[in-house]
Structure 1
Amino acid sequence: MNEQTYRVAVITGAASGIGRGLAERAMTERLHLVLADRDGESLERLAAKLSEQGVQVLTQVTDVADATQLEHLRDAALQRFGTVDLLFNNAGVMQTGNCWELSDSQWQRALAVNLGGVINGIRAFLPLLLAQGRPAHVINTASLAGLLNSPFMAAYNVSKQAVVALSESLHYELAALQAQVGVSVLCPGPVASEIMTSDQGQGAAGELNRLLDGQIRQGMSPAELAERVFAAIAEKRFWILPHKGFKPALRARLESVLEERNPQFAPFDPQGDSHVA
């Protein structure tokens, strides 16, 4: 990555998981960092670690569901560094359970953070990125759930598929402007993180959460994922698909749409080459 092109990265959900991996990878590029998360203690521990490596770090406790807090984050970044070059709309939460049994607060939180956080980030930062008149890039974290549906994950599926739709729309709009701002949508499978701590399900939902938590914690390392993300940014790729094993399932889904067949769910291994029996 050209250090003369990109100097400042803003990362939401930066205190753990994917966000932390992105921050640590950005450190190797000698980027100045603006790190946001609801977990202030973990955020400060990460900032201290990165600062020891000579990186300039600004932290701000931020709930991305609040548009005003994203505007404050933008203003703080400008005041400290004078520019923003990379925007990682990464913060996310998980909710599981039958769609009709999720509470209003569970639905609203999933939509407010996973989708609203990306919308708020775009609305706060895009005018700035365009006005700067220099290369910049927006990376929105979706999920394989942004491309494929699974039972008991409706709130997550809905929010992440909306992030994919928003990202693609933004890509078209910026292309129409011939802007120097690029867009990528990140759709990973399991990445080692603590995202399941955002969903405290009970009963059957609790059992599902414990199963998902185990799978996620054994997923791709955040460091490996971040390496692939930064490679995609350098290549200006829209689709960032770190796990390849989902493609047969996506192809089957698209064929069922084109052929107007009822959908059939089949579990798959995102890191493998085919469906799991």
Structure 2
Amino acid sequence: MRIEQGQVAVITGAAGGIGRGLAEEGGARGLRLVLTDVDGQRLSALTEQLQGLGVTVVSQVADVSDAAQVDALRDLAVERFGGVDLLFNNAGVLQTGFSWEIGADRWQRLLDINLGGVINGIRSFIPLLLGQQRPAQVVNTASLAGLVCSPMLGPYTVSKQAVVALSETLHYELAVLQAQVSVAVLCPGPVASDIMNSNQAAGAATGPLDVLLDSSIRQGMEPRELAREVFAGIEVGRFWLLPHKNFKPALERRLTSILDETNPVFQMADA
């Protein structure tokens, strides 16, 4: 799909990290933006920043785990801009800990946001995109955790692998319909953000792994750099958006283990 000025992009989880990078890069490319996040203060600040740069943007606080709030976001996009060209189902949180020690409420909350948010975006926006009868693009943010598994990240890994499966299923369904709507799944490694704050907000105790993971994330790829790779992938019609190529050997080891029916062995990511 060709990215052109004046197209409308809806971005969830827009106030920080990947979402903010997508918003800033989209605005620089002349897209009209519909932004949402649960953090109203940061969302408002980003909206004002972009408007100050001449970007056409409207924002609305929303919890993507709530289907009605996602519907309201869709309705806002239609009301203000007449339709949607790009949908970025990006909102997400992260939790750490042994799988059996994470409480049921924390498990459910993460699944509601990371997976439920994507489900709600698809359910709400796909009929609109199909009905427009013009090219449109959906990008679902998963993670390298959607392709490989690590200890202490059970809920996050489960949610992201489900997002990958849902995205691939949606790709096949759109192909069956010969639709002009395309889907891509974004599976990045560390991207500079404060996503680990969501772990603390959920009541998780901070341990050595959390400190190490937080440091790795904060020193990760710059969100704007990632956004440029995402837009480049959209324009060439790529389904798999894998900006961190150094993780491919880990994926290859996992696939080989599956095909050879050998027991998995965890290894740290290749440098």
Q: Taking structure 1 as the reference length, what is the TM-score of the superposition?
A: 0.95
Deviation sequence 1:113-166 (CA, Å, 0-9, x none): 000000000000000000000000000000000000000001000000000000
Deviation sequence 1:191-212 (CA, Å, 0-9, x none): 0001000002655x53221111
Q: 1:202 to 1:51 in 2, by over 3 A?
A: closer
Partner of 2:34: 34
SS of the residue corresponding to residue 232 of structure 2 reads: helix
Q: Distance in 2 between matches of 1:249 and 1:35?
A: 34
Partner of 2:171: 171
Q: Distance in 1 between matches of 2:215 and 2:122?
A: 33
Partner of 2:89: 89
Partner of 1:183: 183
Partner of 2:240: 239
Partner of 1:124: 124
SS of the residue corresponding to residue 246 of structure 1 reads: helix
Deviation sequence 1:92-126 (CA, Å, 0-9, x none): 00011000000011100110000000000000000
The AA in structure 2 aligned to 1:210 is V
The AA in structure 1 aligned to 2:232 is A
In the alignment, structure 1 residue 212 sits paired with structure 2 residue 220: no
SS of the residue corresponding to residue 95 of structure 2 reads: coil
The count of corresponding residues between Structure 1 and Structure 2 is 268
Partner of 1:144: 144
Segments of structure 1 that go 5 or more residues without pairing to the other structure are: 273-277
The 5 A counterparts of 1:222-233 are 222-233=223-234
The AA in structure 1 aligned to 2:173 is E
In the alignment, structure 1 residue 72 sits paired with structure 2 residue 81: no
SS of the residue corresponding to residue 173 of structure 1 reads: helix
Partner of 1:275: none
Q: Distance in 1 between matches of 2:208 and 2:185?
A: 30
Q: Distance in 1 between matches of 2:226 and 2:111?
A: 24
Q: Distance in 2 between matches of 1:105 and 1:2?
A: 40
Q: Distance in 2 between matches of 1:170 and 1:31?
A: 25
Q: Distance in 1 between matches of 2:196 and 2:207?
A: 10
Larger RCO: 1 or 2 (CA < 8 Å, sep 6+): 2
Partner of 2:159: 159
The 5 A counterparts of 1:190-201 are 190-200=190-200
Q: Which runs of 4+ in 1 moved over 2 A?
A: none
**RMSD (Å), alpha carbons:** 1.1
SS of the residue corresponding to residue 14 of structure 1 reads: coil
Q: Distance in 1 between matches of 2:9 and 2:207?
A: 36
Deviation sequence 1:33-74 (CA, Å, 0-9, x none): 000000011001101111112111110001000011000000
Q: Taking structure 2 as the reference length, what is the TM-score of the superposition?
A: 0.97
Among all aligned residue pairs of Structure 1 and Structure 2, give the percentage whose two residues are the same amino acid: 64
Partner of 1:249: 250
Partner of 1:103: 103
The AA in structure 2 aligned to 1:222 is P
Partner of 2:59: 59
Q: Distance in 2 between matches of 1:231 and 1:198?
A: 30
SS of the residue corresponding to residue 176 of structure 2 reads: helix
